[in-house]
């Protein structure tokens, strides 16, 4: 087994991440970078039409190119038991039964895979493959199609619409957001290697090794433990790595077929069509308030795209039920199937989209009421209880987030009337919005191993996609054991390690942390038992009173004796002492509701002649419970805010309605925020532990950093210019025409 490279080094500054040296020296291995003897290369050929059937594929010419080993397509592929028939395919829930269909559902769908000795050879040979199709009518036009798709109730209606139909203040408006694409910097990649015919090893880019293991073992009908998945370094995900996509399946199929290890890395253009995206959406909000600014009711309607072969619903209206205390609330939604790949969860899925519309509408209402938007929110936020379940929030500090953020950005300098502040051709404005996310937690396991030399290894199957999971594990082990950090190693991202959920939905650390702390307690109890054989005082030692150091263990009780590892190991037969623990949510979920939240504030400048928008300052104050590592946590929130700037101002994927192609299919055609697009993001935390969620008191942070950012920016643009822009991204043309 290869280990997560966290070489213990005295050069490593105490505050650095556990894997920092591996990352800054280029030594850390991402999926496509492992040296696997005999590896060959796979390159994809994709469909050139958006809908229809493959009549024939011409592979002869490609077969004659140097280095080609085999070409997989629907008439030449290995047996995949999970794709044996229509029913099995449906039950597999992998979406696209790649090579097990001749149907084309979207442009860019894989139709063949060339396997060759080198990447250059495979790439060239792939260019020689052509196909004949029977084309069918297709549709990629969301804007034209969605009006004909009826809305359905999304959740139970609260109160009635009649009750507030003649509210004194009403805001009613429509909002649209163009499709966004995750585009982690590392492209999805797999090295698949079959060992015999019922064992496979995968170096895989994923956010969850156990979920890949489950899917592959199911499809190929092999025992789960025969699928080893290794993802020690993951170059970002943002949701795209939460599913097993066709590229992984193709790599596994190809390796089975050619009986050699196969490496398949998607190209950047393929990343736009094959591994999900945030769907394009339409929303309509009707928000009512009485003369005192108390919300009297809301109707929230939403539609978004899905593919023609899978129903994906990201529940855009969910956030309407979460943040404010609506006595009357009606939510409706619909999905619109189009000839595109299947969308998937992307950072703050659903809520990020829904929040933009709601927070924009509330801002609009605040101007109608001539009331400060912070005060208006504070009047209506459900601060005590979850408005949906009625359960009390375990902790909820959005009010403090608002207060801190307002002070930091000098909110008192904001003008209530828009368009008041100019600097040459620039108009300047302030905006704010809030974001929320339910703090989930799932079952996770971790183990801690101590060896004779006094080195600790903390292990879990969970991945670290850049969130600092490994560093948090080290910190938690350090805090609960007392062992110096430079003696604590981390191993993660491997399906042979204690099982853990995928890293997503802001649940990673909240789920895993408890397991690490429980394992630490168990380890200390074990050590106390061994120690008692040497010194009887240890017999009644509580785990909390045992401390580990580099050389041995001690008992916090008066004049209890220190026992060195050398002495201890005289009583131990094994080379290591190990403790494993599993932690899961429990009773507390019956009693309380859990949430993380954030308040986002910004100052923008808008150029009156060019329509350019620049974010001058961005302040994010988040409540994520207790913060385990301040720097990586702040980094995560500021990174999410950078994502929010992209969402607000530039990220947009469009499909060409005439040919069904994606217009932005590389990083020149699809823009996300570069360094110069973002100011230095100012992040701070409430940092109060939630006493009920888990042992650490930590709630998730990954999503609230982005939810609310786009609305804060759009609201600031209104404050600067008096233009209410409801369609994302707000590109210069929209500002000028607005």
Partner 1 sequence: MNEQTLSRRFFLKVSGAFVALAAVPSTVHAFYQDVKSFLVPPKETLPTTLTINKQPYKVTADTRSTLLDLLREELQLTGTKKGCDHGQCGACTVHVDGQRVLSCLTLTAMLPGKTVTTIEGLADGEKLHPMQQAFIECDGFQCGYCTPGQIMSAVACVNEGHTKSVAEIKEFMSGNLCRCGAYNGIVEAIQKVAK
Query: Is 501 within 8 Å of 507 (Cβ atoms)?
Result: yes
| Minimum CB distance to ligand FES, residue 337 (Å) | 32
Query: Is 690 within 8 Å of 625 (Cβ atoms)?
Result: yes
Give 134's contacts (C-beta < 8 A, 6+ positions apart): 52, 53, 55
Give 85's contacts (C-beta < 8 A, 6+ positions apart): none
- Residues of this chain, 431-490, that bind partner 1 according to CB under 8 A: 465-468
Nearer to partner 1, 208 or 639 (CB): 639
Site string for partner 1, 302-321 (x = CB under 8 A): --------------------
The yes or no reply on residue 426 touching partner 1 (CB under 8 A) is no
- Residues of this chain, 94-123, that bind partner 1 according to CB under 8 A: 118-121, 123
- Residues of this chain, 395-454, that bind ligand FES according to CB under 6 A: none
Classify the C-alpha dihedral 142-143-149-153 as positive or negative: positive
Nearer to partner 1, 39 or 173 (CB): 39
The yes or no reply on residue 663 touching partner 1 (CB under 8 A) is no
| Minimum CB distance to ligand FES, residue 725 (Å) | 29
Query: Is 489 within 8 Å of 6 (Cβ atoms)?
Result: yes
Nearer to partner 1, 64 or 156 (CB): 64
Burial (CB count <10 Å: 0-12, 13-18, 19+), residue 506? buried
Nearer to ligand FES, 78 or 269 (CB): 269
Nearer to ligand FES, 236 or 484 (CB): 236
- Residues of this chain, 162-201, that bind ligand FES according to CB under 6 A: 185
Chain centroid to CA 435: 16
- Residues of this chain, 107-126, that bind ligand FES according to CB under 6 A: none
Query: For the residues of 90-105, what is the DSSP string, one character each?
Result: HHHT-S--TTS--EE-
Helices and strands per DSSP (H, E), number in the chain: 18, 28
Nearer to partner 1, 581 or 713 (CB): 713
CA nearest neighbour of 585 among 701, 442, 462, 460: 442
- Residues of this chain, 178-237, that bind partner 1 according to CB under 8 A: 182-187, 233-236
- Residues of this chain, 122-181, that bind partner 1 according to CB under 8 A: 123-124, 128
Strand, coil or helix: 598: strand
Site string for partner 1, 386-425 (x = CB under 8 A): ----------------------------------------
| Minimum CB distance to ligand FES, residue 235 (Å) | 6
Q: Which of 48, 53, 65, 572 binds partner 1 (CB under 8 A)?
A: 65
13 binds, among partner 1, ligand FES, none (CB under 5 to 8 A by kind): partner 1
- Residues of this chain, 699-728, that bind partner 1 according to CB under 8 A: none
| Minimum CB distance to partner 1, residue 681 (Å) | 6
Q: Give me 356's structure tokens.
A: 């933009």
Nearer to ligand FES, 467 or 715 (CB): 467
Spatial distance between the Cα atoms of 546 and 536, rounded to a whole number of angstroms: 14
| Minimum CB distance to ligand FES, residue 471 (Å) | 14
The yes or no reply on residue 236 touching ligand FES (CB under 6 A) is yes
The yes or no reply on residue 272 touching partner 1 (CB under 8 A) is no
Q: Give me 397's structure tokens.
A: 């500090």
Q: Which of 466, 505, 664, 729 binds ligand FES (CB under 6 A)?
A: 466
CA nearest neighbour of 502 among 276, 95, 204, 206: 206
Residue in 332, 388, 491, 703 annotated catalytic: 703
| Minimum CB distance to partner 1, residue 262 (Å) | 14
Strand, coil or helix: 269: helix
Q: Which of 137, 536, 680, 737 binds partner 1 (CB under 8 A)?
A: 680
| Minimum CB distance to ligand FES, residue 465 (Å) | 9
How far is CA 287 from each of CA 302, 326, 399, rounded to the nearest angstrom? 14, 10, 22
121 binds, among partner 1, ligand FES, none (CB under 5 to 8 A by kind): partner 1
- Residues of this chain, 10-39, that bind partner 1 according to CB under 8 A: 11-13, 15-17, 19-30, 32-33, 35
# residues near ligand FES by CB under 6 A:
3
Q: Which of 137, 675, 733, 737 binds partner 1 (CB under 8 A)?
A: 675
Residue nearest to ligand FES (CB): 185
Burial (CB count <10 Å: 0-12, 13-18, 19+), residue 682? middle
Nearer to ligand FES, 217 or 469 (CB): 469
Q: How would you list the strands of the sheet with 488-491, edge to edge?
A: 488-491, 456-459, 444-451, 576-583
Spatial distance between the Cα atoms of 705 and 403, rounded to a whole number of angstroms: 17
Chain centroid to CA 365: 32
642 binds, among partner 1, ligand FES, none (CB under 5 to 8 A by kind): partner 1
- Residues of this chain, 615-654, that bind partner 1 according to CB under 8 A: 631-632, 635-636, 638-643
Where is 527: in which H helix or E strand? Answer: helix 508-532
SS (HEC) of 118-150: CHHHHHHHHHCCEEEEEECCCCCCHHHHHHHCC
Spatial distance between the Cα atoms of 678 and 340, rounded to a whole number of angstroms: 31
354 binds, among ligand FES, partner 1, none (CB under 5 to 8 A by kind): none
Q: Give me 706's structure tokens.
A: 């982005």
# residues near partner 1 by CB under 8 A:
75
Give residue 238's region: left, alpha or beta (phi > 0; psi -120 to 50).
Answer: left
Asked about 703 being catalytic, the answer comes back as yes
Nearer to ligand FES, 331 or 638 (CB): 638
Write phi, then psi, for 210 (nearest 5 degrees): -70, -30
Give 460's contacts (C-beta < 8 A, 6+ positions apart): 444, 445, 446, 447, 469, 473, 491, 492, 497, 498, 500, 512, 515, 516
- Would strands 488-491 and 456-459 be described as parallel, antiparallel, or unpaired? parallel
Nearer to partner 1, 181 or 322 (CB): 181
The yes or no reply on residue 24 touching ligand FES (CB under 6 A) is no
Spatial distance between the Cα atoms of 327 and 706, rounded to a whole number of angstroms: 27
CA nearest neighbour of 452 among 611, 564, 364, 538: 564
The yes or no reply on residue 67 touching partner 1 (CB under 8 A) is yes
The yes or no reply on residue 673 touching partner 1 (CB under 8 A) is yes
The yes or no reply on residue 722 touching ligand FES (CB under 6 A) is no
709 binds, among ligand FES, partner 1, none (CB under 5 to 8 A by kind): none
The yes or no reply on residue 676 touching partner 1 (CB under 8 A) is yes
The yes or no reply on residue 2 touching partner 1 (CB under 8 A) is no
Residues with catalytic function: 703
User: Which residue ranges make up the site for ligand FES (CB under 6 A)?
Assistant: 185, 236, 466
């Amino acid at each position: 087994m290869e280990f997560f490279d966290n070489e213990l080094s005295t050069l490593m500054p105490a505050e650095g991440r556990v894997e920092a040296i591996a990352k800054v020296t280029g030594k850390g291995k991402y999926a496509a970078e492992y040296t696997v003897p005999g590896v060959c290369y796979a390159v994809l050929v994709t469909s050139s039409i958006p809908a229809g059937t493959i009549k024939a594929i011409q592979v002869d010419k490609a077969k004659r190119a140097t280095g080609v080993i085999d070409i997989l397509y629907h008439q030449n592929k290995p047996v995949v038991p999970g794709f044996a028939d229509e029913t099995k395919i449906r039950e597999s829930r992998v979406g696209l039964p790649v090579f097990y269909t001749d149907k084309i559902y979207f442009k860019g769908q894989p139709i063949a895979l060339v396997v060759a000795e080198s990447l250059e050879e495979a790439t060239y040979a792939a260019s020689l493959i052509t196909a004949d199709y029977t084309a069918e009518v297709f549709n990629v036009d969301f804007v034209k199609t969605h009006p004909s798709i009826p809305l359905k109730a999304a959740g139970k209606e609260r109160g009635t619409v009649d009750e507030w139909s003649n509210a004194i203040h009403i805001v009613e408006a429509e909002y649209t957001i163009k499709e966004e694409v995750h585009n982690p910097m590392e492209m999805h990649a797999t090295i698949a290697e079959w060992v015999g015919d019922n064992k496979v090893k995968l170096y895989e880019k994923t956010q969850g090794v156990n979920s890949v293991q489950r899917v592959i073992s199911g499809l190929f009908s092999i025992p789960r433990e025969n699928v080893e998945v290794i993802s020690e370094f993951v170059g970002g995900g943002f949701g795209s790595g939460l599913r097993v996509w066709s590229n992984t399946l193709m790599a596994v199929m190809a390796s089975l077929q050619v009986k050699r290890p196969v490496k398949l890395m998607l190209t950047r253009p393929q990343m736009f069509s094959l591994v999900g995206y945030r769907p394009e959406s339409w929303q309509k909000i009707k928000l009512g308030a009485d003369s005192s600014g108390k919300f009297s009711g809301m109707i929230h309607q939403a539609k978004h795209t899905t593919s023609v072969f899978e129903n994906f619903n990201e529940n855009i209206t969910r956030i309407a039920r979460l943040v404010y205390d609506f006595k009357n609330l009606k939510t409706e939604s619909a999905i619109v199937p189009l000839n595109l790949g299947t969308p998937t969860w992307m950072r703050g899925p659903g809520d990020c989209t829904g929040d933009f519309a709601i927070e924009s509408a509330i801002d609009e209402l605040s101007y109608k009421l001539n009331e400060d938007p912070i005060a208006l929110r504070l009047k209506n936020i459900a601060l005590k209880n979850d408005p949906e379940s009625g359960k009390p929030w375990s902790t909820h500090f959005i009010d403090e987030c608002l207060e801190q953020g307002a002070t930091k950005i000098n909110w008192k300098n904001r003008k209530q009337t828009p368009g008041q502040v100019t600097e040459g051709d620039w108009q300047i404005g302030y905006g704010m919005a809030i974001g929320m996310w339910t703090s989930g937690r799932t079952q996770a396991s971790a183990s801690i191993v101590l060896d004779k030399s006094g080195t600790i290894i903390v292990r879990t199957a969970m991945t670290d996609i850049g969130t600092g999971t490994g560093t948090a594990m080290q910190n938690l082990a350090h805090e609960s054991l007392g062992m110096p950090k430079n003696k604590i190693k981390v191993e993660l991202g491997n399906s042979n390690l204690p099982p853990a959920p995928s890293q997503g939905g802001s649940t990673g650390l909240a789920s895993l942390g408890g397991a690490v702390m429980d394992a630490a307690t168990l380890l200390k109890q074990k050590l106390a038992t061994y120690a008692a054989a040497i010194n009887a005082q240890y017999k009644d030692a509580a785990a909390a009173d045992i401390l580990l150091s580099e050389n041995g263990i001690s008992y916090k009780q008066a004049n209890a004796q220190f026992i060195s590892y050398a002495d201890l190991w005289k009583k131990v037969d094994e080379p290591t002492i190990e403790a494993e623990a599993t932690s899961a949510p429990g009773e507390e979920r019956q009693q309380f509701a859990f949430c993380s939240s954030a308040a986002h504030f910004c100052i923008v400048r808008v150029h009156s002649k060019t329509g350019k928008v620049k974010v001058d300052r961005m302040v994010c104050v988040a409540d994520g419970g207790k913060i385990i590592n301040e720097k990586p946590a702040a980094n995560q929130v500021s990174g999410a805010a950078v994502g929010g700037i992209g969402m607000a101002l530039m990220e947009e994927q469009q499909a060409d309605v005439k040919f069904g192609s994606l217009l932005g299919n590389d990083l020149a055609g699809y823009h996300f925020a570069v360094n110069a697009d973002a100011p230095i993001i100012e992040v701070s935390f409430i940092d109060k532990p939630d006493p009920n969620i888990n042992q650490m008191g930590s709630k998730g942070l990954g999503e609230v950093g982005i939810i609310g950012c786009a609305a804060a920016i759009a609201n600031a643009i209104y404050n600067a210019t008096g233009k209410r822009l409801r369609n994302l991204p707000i590109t210069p043309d929209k500002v000028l025409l607005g």
